């Protein structure tokens, strides 16, 4: 379902990457530590339903100030976020005081300024989110009453009417006047993504497993099974967390069906220490019947994965992922976010990920494949 991808990213973030405890691999109930891990898992599950409420305990701070203070090199919001519902409520409801064309890229978007001066990106009918991604929430916007009165001339010039529907085509690589995004009447469903604070400039990197996008020309990783060995000899993948971030991202992209991760961003001048930030996930949740296994190439070619990621994925099998996704997205303004076929597809893809890691451990041993999160990392 290409309608609602960005909220799904946030939901899967909450489901997969919000745990900070390491769950025991063998899942033995006789272990006191494992029983505590199970209790922590159930607490996490109970906290997935983030209600969008206007109340904010920090009365001396705006929701935008609180969100800006959350950002650190390895996450854009913390695990414990009692203010999350209030901040997402503000994103979904605060008055739009300015609207302009979005930043450069291939997909249609608009840059909005909300009351209080917060920048957000509005994407028509495309949704997703992550603790390694900016906060995202669904929003219904009236193009005639909320956008056009505060739009810049550049954005306003792209508005048109098709039948009884208000439409715009904006400015982007693939934006065409002949293919505008149209509201249902005047009301458009989309997502708003919180702009990261300016004090955290971003640096763009070419993804080592990116595709060529040229017919008849394969990328090296598509024909060289030893390609990961070459990646491990280049910075920033020769040490530090970046290669493991790439593999986490491959797992995530496979679950959502995103085969378009040709570039990624990190915080600038981080020497490979900060997280891989997920900003472009618009090619997700297309055909639920299509399983693009090549998305997992970083995983099955490198055959390493974080222990915490492996255990989180194990805890999500047997229908838990589907249930958790429904809970995490239940209170979004544009719910329901995913159809049953897409939820079922995510469940099946999860089993494929687990089977891939099992093949790696059978071949190389668990001690080699499963990497402790805090151990000194050298991939050479």
Q: Is the pLDDT of residue 301 over 90?
A: yes
Q: Is the pLDDT of residue 240 over 80?
A: yes
265 is in an annotated binding site: yes
65-to-83, 197, 198, 292, 367 alpha-carbon distances in Å: 11, 9, 12, 40, 43
363 is in an annotated binding site: no
Q: Is the pLDDT of residue 231 over 90?
A: yes
Residue by residue, DSSP assigns 61-87 as S-HHHHHHHH-BTTBSS-S--TTHHHH
194 is in an annotated binding site: yes
Domain residue ranges in the chain: 63-194, 202-371
Instruction: Give the least confident one: 112-121, 168-177, 347-356.
Output: 168-177
CA–CA separation, 62 vs 116, rounded Å? 8
Instruction: Please list the active-site residues.
Output: 260
Q: Is the pLDDT of residue 32 over 50?
A: no
As given in the structure block, the two tokens for residue 29 are 């109930």
280 is in an annotated binding site: yes
Specify the 3-state DSSP secondary structure of 320. helix
Mean pLDDT of the chain, nearest integer = 82
203 is in an annotated binding site: no
Instruction: Identify the band that residue 172 occupies on the pLDDT scale cut at 50, 70 and 90.
Output: confident
Neighbouring-strand partners of residue 267: 202
Specify the 3-state DSSP secondary structure of 151. strand
pTM: 0.80
Q: Three-class SS string for 175-195?
A: CCCCCCEECECCEEEEEEEEC
Instruction: Identify the band that residue 71 occupies on the pLDDT scale cut at 50, 70 and 90.
Output: confident
- Rg of the chain, C-alpha, whole Å: 21
123 is in an annotated binding site: yes
351 is in an annotated binding site: no
The pLDDT tens digits of the residues spanning 131-150 come to 677 788 889 999 999 999 99
């Amino acid at each position: 379902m290409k309608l609602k991808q960005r909220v799904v990213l946030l939901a899967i973030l909450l489901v997969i990457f919000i745990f900070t405890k390491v769950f025991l691999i063998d899942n033995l109930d006789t272990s006191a530590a494992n029983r505590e891990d199970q209790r922590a898992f159930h607490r996490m599950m109970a906290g997935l339903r983030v209600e969008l409420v206007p109340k904010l305990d920090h009365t001396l701070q705006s929701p935008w100030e609180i969100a800006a203070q959350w950002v650190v090199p390895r996450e854009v919001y913390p695990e414990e976020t009692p203010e999350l519902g209030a901040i997402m409520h503000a994103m979904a409801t605060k008055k739009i005081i300015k609207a302009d064309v979005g930043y450069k890229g291939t997909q249609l978007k608009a840059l909005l300024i909300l009351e209080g001066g917060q920048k957000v990106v509005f994407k028509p009918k495309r949704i997703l989110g992550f603790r390694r991604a900016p906060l995202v929430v669904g929003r219904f916007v009236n193009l005639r009453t909320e956008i056009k009165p505060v739009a810049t001339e550049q954005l306003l010039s792209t508005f048109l009417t098709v039948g009884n529907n208000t439409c715009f085509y904006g400015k982007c690589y693939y934006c065409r006047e002949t293919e505008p995004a149209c509201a249902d009447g005047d009301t458009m469903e989309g997502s708003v993504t919180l702009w990261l604070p300016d004090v955290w400039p971003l640096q763009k990197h070419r993804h080592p497993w990116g595709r060529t996008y040229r017919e008849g020309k394969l990328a090296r990783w598509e024909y060289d099974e030893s390609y990961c060995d070459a990646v491990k000899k280049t910075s920033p993948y020769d040490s530090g967390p970046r290669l493991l971030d790439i593999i986490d991202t491959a797992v995530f992209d496979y679950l959502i069906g995103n085969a378009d991760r040709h570039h990624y961003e990190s915080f600038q001048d981080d020497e490979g220490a900060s997280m891989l930030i997920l900003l472009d996930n618009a090619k997700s949740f297309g055909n639920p019947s299509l399983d693009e296994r090549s998305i997992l190439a970083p995983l099955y070619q490198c055959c390493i994965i974080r222990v915490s990621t492996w255990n989180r994925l194990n805890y999500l099998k047997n229908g838990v992922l589907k249930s958790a996704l429904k809970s995490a997205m239940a209170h979004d303004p544009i719910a329901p976010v995913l159809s049953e076929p897409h939820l079922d597809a995510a469940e099946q893809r999860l089993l494929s990920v687990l089977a891939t890691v099992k093949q790696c451990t059978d071949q190389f041993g668990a001690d080699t494949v499963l990497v402790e999160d805090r151990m000194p990392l050298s991939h050479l």
